Amino acid sequence: MEKEVIPRKILSGWISFVRKCFFRVLRVGPIPSHIAVIMDGNRRYAKKKKLEEGVGHDAGAFALLCLLIYCYELGVKHLSAYAFSIDNFKRKPEDVKKIMDLLRECIPLLTRIVKHRPIRVHFAGSLELLSADIRIPAKRLMEATADNSKFIFTLCVVYTSTDEIMHVVQESCKEKCDHIPEIRANDASNGLLGENGDSHQGDQDLIKLVDIEKHMYMAITPDPDILIRTGDEHRLSNFLLWQTSCCQLSSLVTLWPEIGIWQLVWVVLNFQRNHHYYGRKRNAAVDLVNGSYSSSSPPSQS
């Protein structure tokens, strides 16, 4: 047994050394701040390997934890993973149970990981739809890691982008309605109300972009620079629809449990090659929102 363990440790150390060398070379170029992933192909992986279907999800969870470590070592600041859609509740009960069991198991594993690394863990979505034995430990982990800022790992569970946008609209409207009496009282004291009792500062009653974005489930992260989907799929599947207008979409033939350092290196190299293009697109989008275009400098069509 000892003879088997020693070569394994040496091999593990060698692989770690090679990985860090690759990452050091990659860091010469721009590193994406935020990588988001849609994990597709767990069941196909199990079928390919002639394993029980649930084993594919186990392998997928392990691949996610490995990717978390790789991104942390590379210098990525944010990693977000689409773990469970609200629509997934429509799947077979045994499939739903398997994912929920994995969530229960992953929370203690994440707790161990953050003990040795300053990682903040965030769960995004309608968490009230989770059972208490998952929701409560998840919230405790979020609270325990809230002060960590070097790396933020977001697990999107019971999440869809349309649900997020609906939540944002409801919260923004509620906030504005709560503040309208205060605004009108202030205007009245300053003589700013019109003849019909309307405020001359009516724009304060309007919902602005900043109001929307602060209520997002994903408010603690910037928009992703890269969205990776495995399994040769090319759909967003109701994930980060608001946040992905100017990000690189990478569809990999690789099944999710098979994703590793080489796929990450390839995606980051492709990002570096197109960095200036996506940077221009993002800056143009920001300028358009801020209304900073002049008639002499229309938005780029490149």
Per the structure, the complete domain to which residue 146 belongs is given by 36-179+204-285
Residue 6 lies in a domain: no
CA–CA dist 162, 45 (Å, integer): 29
Residue 16 lies in a domain: no
Residue 107 lies in a domain: yes
Give the pLDDT score at 299: 47
Residue 79 lies in a domain: yes
Residue pLDDT, tens place only, 124-148: 999 999 999 999 999 999 999 999 9
% of the chain at pLDDT higher than 70 = 81
Query: CATH no. for residue 280?
Result: 3.40.1180.10
Residue 100 has pLDDT above 60, yes or no: yes
Q: Which helix (H) or strand (E) holds 60?
A: helix 53-74
Catalytic positions: 40
CA–CA dist 282, 157 (Å, integer): 27
DSSP letter assigned to residue 126: -
Q: Which two tokens stand for residue 104?
A: 């229960």
Considering just the CA atoms, what is the radius of gyration of the chain in Å?
A: 23
In the chain, how many domains are there?
Answer: 1
CA–CA dist 115, 108 (Å, integer): 11
Residue pLDDT, tens place only, 149-207: 999 999 999 999 999 999 999 998 888 787 666 655 565 565 555 555 555 555 556 77
Residue 121 lies in a domain: yes
Residue pLDDT, tens place only, 2-49: 444 445 544 567 778 888 888 999 999 999 999 999 999 999 999 999
Residue 5 lies in a domain: no
Residue 192 lies in a domain: no
pTM of the model as a whole: 0.83
Residue 30 lies in a domain: no
**Positive or negative torsion for Cα 288, 279, 209, 86:** positive
